[in-house]
Amino acid sequence: MKHLTGGVCAPKGFVASGTSCGIRKTGKKDLALIVSQKRAAAAGVYTQNLVKGAPILVTQKHLANGYARAIIANSGNANTCNANGIEIAEGMCELVEKYTGIYASDVIVASTGVIGQRLSLDPIANGMSALMMGLGSNSSDAAEAILTTDTVRKEAAVSLELGGKTVKIGAIAKGSGMIHPNMATLLVFTTTDAAVAPALLQKALELAIQDSFNMISIDRDTSTNDTAVILANGMAENAEIGSENADFAAFLAALKALYIHLSRLISKDGEGATKLLECRVTGARTDADARVAAKSVICSPLLKCAMFGSDANWGRVLCALGYAGADIDVAGVDVTFKSEAGEIKVCENGGGIAFSEEAAKTVLSAPEIEIAVSLGGGPGEALAFGCDLTYDYVKINSDYRS
């Protein structure tokens, strides 16, 4: 597997565009379009929040047959809890049909931004000409157009060999706040030129998300609009993946690696964040126990505050493990803090040990920190992603609508 540039445009047969149509008051790009040259197998995973944005309901309907060809998305307004939300979401798809000839029923639609504010179709309609003119092989404008409080674009791509054919997978993502397991989390749009049957594409998406986006927590808030979708147009001309064979395993491994890379980018760019946090749990009785334990640690507000202050308050790790709900023998827990500045063990067999507070502060002052937790000698392991909790998080979310 190789890492590539190009995001969603790296695979054959995909073009993308992004423009400003006036939904966002700042004038930043707020409308994105991704188009496949051919009709593609498609799969999606969505928020588990009972309050769902209208675009999710429309996308679920359009993907019922397992195929799509385009994605349109806006930022600045979530189109959630609106009386005419379905009408607006369907209208966005109809605009794609009008300008591209792609059937509206083959269009995926997504929105992100403020909840509960009415959205007019007028700015989107006015922005379509510019969006069409910008369609090309660079996904950066589209990646920028889906951002809200994000400070950087998130885009990546990889390639792998399947049956003698080079297959590429690309993705763009957004997410900075209101991110919490389980998925979906955020917006993730993925393209691939691999030939994959819709049912297997859906399974690969769900499995890849389990150990990546589903393991992120920025603030314990699950969005109403979280959507992850993937289009597979088959233009790499590999033998279609129609069963869980070796090609499926290789495709899944590449997709998971891509998503883990994006998960780190998203977590590092959490609202107000100064540090990327990763909790790596090993020695659990099962992978499921490891996931629960790792998530609990990464979600702890007190632990996140301690990491912001470079305070080696390891008791907060033990506390989070204790209420996680996983099958854990507390007397067998070890905790080590790691970073580019070194590592320091702070807890052994569930109890405190002597360590240098000064050395620990040096380790925890780095921009990326790993909280390594050993639960014993079991085979279960997991990795969760998050960030520290800072003053700026409160500032950002105290006037989000203004």
* One domain for residues 261 and 356: no
Which residue out of 185, 191, 192, 227 is catalytically annotated? Answer: 185
Give me the CATH number covering residue 391.
3.10.20.340
Sequence-ordered list of residues with C-beta below 8 angstroms from that of 152, at least 6 positions apart, any chain = 265, 269
* One domain for residues 257 and 300: no
Q: How far apart are the C-alpha atoms of 65 and 38, rounded to whole Å?
A: 16
Higher pLDDT, 269 or 122: 122
Q: What is the pLDDT of residue 259?
A: 97
Name the 3-class secondary structure at 248.
Answer: helix
Give me the CATH number covering residue 160.
3.60.70.12
Sequence-ordered list of residues with C-beta below 8 angstroms from that of 286, at least 6 positions apart, any chain = 327, 378, 379, 380
Cα 194 from chain centroid (whole Å): 21
> Which two three-digit tokens encode residue 141?
């404008």
Going 373 to 378 to 382 to 383, the CA torsion angle's sign is: positive
Q: 26-79 pLDDT, tens per residue?
A: 899 999 999 999 999 999 999 888 888 999 999 999 999 999 999 999 999 999
Q: How far apart are the C-alpha atoms of 380 and 283, rounded to whole Å?
A: 6
* One domain for residues 169 and 216: yes
Q: What is the pLDDT of residue 95?
A: 98
Instruction: Please give the residue range of the domain that contains residue 34.
Output: 2-268
Active site residue 185: yes
Query: The whole model's pTM is what?
Result: 0.92
Q: 107-156 pLDDT, tens per residue?
A: 999 999 888 999 999 999 999 999 999 999 999 999 999 998 888 999 99
Which of 268, 299, 314 terminates a domain? The answer is 268
* One domain for residues 263 and 288: no
Which of 235, 268, 301 terminates a domain? The answer is 268
Q: How many domains does the chain have?
A: 2
